[in-house]
Amino acid sequence: MLDHARSLLRSVFGFDGFRPGQDAIIETILGGADVLAIMPTGAGKSLCYQLPALVGNGLTVVVSPLIALMRDQVAQLTNYGINAAALNSANAPAETRRIFDSLREGDLRLLYLAPERLARPDTVELLRSAGATRLAIDEAHCVSQWGHDFRPEYLALGELRRELGGIQTVAFTATADAATRADIIARLFDGDPRVFIGGFDRPNLLLSMAPKNSARKQLLDFLSLRKGQSGVVYCASRQGCEDLAETFNAAGHHALVYHAGLDKQVREANQDAFLREDGITMVATIAFGMGIDKPDVRFVAHADLPKSIEAYYQEIGRAGRDGLPADTLTLYGLGDVRLRALQIEESQASDEQKRVERAKLNALLALCEAPRCRRQTLLAYFGESSEPCGHCDLCIHGVAVYDGTIDAQKVLSAIYRTGQRFGAEHLINILVGTESDAVLHHGHHALPTFGVGKDRSREQWRSIFRQLYAGGLMTQDLSEFGAWRLTEAGGQVLRGKSRIEIRLDALRGRQKKAKAPAAQLPADYDSDLLAALKKLRRELAAEQGIPAYAVFPDRTLMELAAHRPSSLEQMRGIHGIGEAKLARYGEIFLEALLD
């Protein structure tokens, strides 16, 4: 069956081969097993359930969180010649009738539904009578209370699975730590699914972070190097979005706003414009982005500190889904940290959840203050190791450091001598010589490490903790009250067998201004021809009322502009041109290429 899938991959989707990890997941799905796949954004999750739907018979039901995402994915699939539909409240009556007819006739391959719709008894009966054979759940982390985007309506999906007779279930997400994965499995599956963890690295993303000096000027400088590209700037508040968009537009950029305070029609119109047009900067709160499938987003910037590393990873993951280079920039300041800490303390969450949120905030700050390759620190959080990437701000610009081995040994010794059972504030009390009730109760005032760190402030020690965490010398157990524990690398430093460098600027509380480097897009194409092809694509998309990338993604246009095929047969070799798209658009684009 995998050979058949490979044939369809070329003839329908126009792809020469699978991306890493796709073939194993697709083969397992075709074998009938339940699957949970953790795949980085841009790794091709959608294809893992779309392609199996074309092999054999039966209906694949896709649970998707946004109407806009469903609509655009259906438009893409239809352009590939696939019979797909989305059943939602935005449908015209005639469209809904057409979908019901297709379900009765049994020729619909993929049906997209929102989780709210699936909770309705008539929908369950509809799917039973249509012979649904597979349930595909996108953004599966939404089912978990530990995930960064929990949605209560996802909780009903496990029961739906049982009502449909234990239907094969395949679930996908880009971000899920161990606790979230366990929660997804418990809530969605009756047994143990096959779990695929495809890695978290997005090598095409250039990672940059910088302390806030003048956020507006920093963002304007960032945008000035990327004029005419599509991107997203995330902002913590609605008013901040409005103000930044006004600033960007005054500077000659095309900026739109998206937040929950806007009228629904305005929100949807702005989202549609972003999806369908080139060169728009969307200035948005985190209300924007879930399931946005626009492949040619060339940058994502954060005007304020994100909520967590998971949220940061999910949000920057909206850039460069086509695999081409894309940029990220995250600005952070003390005010952001204080606000986020206050939000945690004042929330209605349980003490346990607050403790987890504090630990996640510390992990994010560790990424901001990382003394080494930014990508190494990010991947280490998700349990992966890598060599320095050479492609982040710290690798490119470097950073002022000092030999922090002695400071590190003080911290590591305090962790070791207290049995690796305590959190940062207790350990800092020991280092600076504070006789708190807990220190006295445990007799830790009698330790050799008590008071050895009086030469530094508590805030400096917090920064050192974050940097040692970022450096992989110690890890925090979120299930044990945030207890710090030594890693093997930490043991090496403690025993004097290796050394560690610590960032000076983070300890001083004042950092030099760093310019966010720019990713380099491929340049071996005719830029005038590419502009003409984009204009043609935009016109065709407007005529059909679909996103521009549903005609052809940027990568396809770049290859056309670089190779300039002179026949339909030569166009078959271009990435993203399958038989249906060749029949629909081949002659039109060939004429433009031969002009």
Cα-based torsion angle of the residue sequence 140, 146, 148, 151 in order, rounded to the nearest 10 degrees: 60
The CATH code belonging to domain 2-197 is 3.40.50.300
pLDDT of residue 592: 93
Pairing type for strands 401-403 and 501-503 reads antiparallel
The three state secondary structure string of 340-367 is: HHHHHHHCCCCHHHHHHHHHHHHHHHHH
110 in Cβ contact with 63 (< 8 Å): no
Percent of the chain at pLDDT above 90? Answer: 48
User: Taking all residues of the chain, what is their mean pLDDT, rounded to a whole number?
Assistant: 88
Q: Do domains 2-197 and 205-397 have the same CATH topology?
A: yes
C-alpha to C-alpha distance for 33 and 60, rounded to whole angstroms: 14
pLDDT, tens only, 146-187? 555 677 778 888 888 888 888 999 999 877 777 788 888 999
564/511: higher pLDDT: 564
Q: What is the reported pLDDT for 326?
A: 94
How confident is the model at residue 57, as a pLDDT?
A: 81
Fold of 401-508: Arc Repressor Mutant, subunit A (1.10.10)
Q: Where are the domains positioned within the chain?
A: 2-197, 205-397, 401-508, 527-594
Lowest mean pLDDT among 123-132, 240-249, 282-291, 297-306: 282-291
Question: pLDDT tens, 528-555?
Answer: 999 999 999 999 998 998 888 889 988 8
Take residue 191 and report the two structure tokens written for it.
Answer: 């047994």
Of the options 1.10.150.80, 3.40.50.2300, 1.20.140.10, 3.40.250.10, the CATH number for the domain spanning 527-594: 1.10.150.80
| Structural tokens at position 394 | 């710290």
Residue with tokens 């349980």: 350
Q: Is the pLDDT score of 230 beyond 70?
A: yes
Strand partners of residue 314 = none
CATH number attached to the domain at 205-397: 3.40.50.300
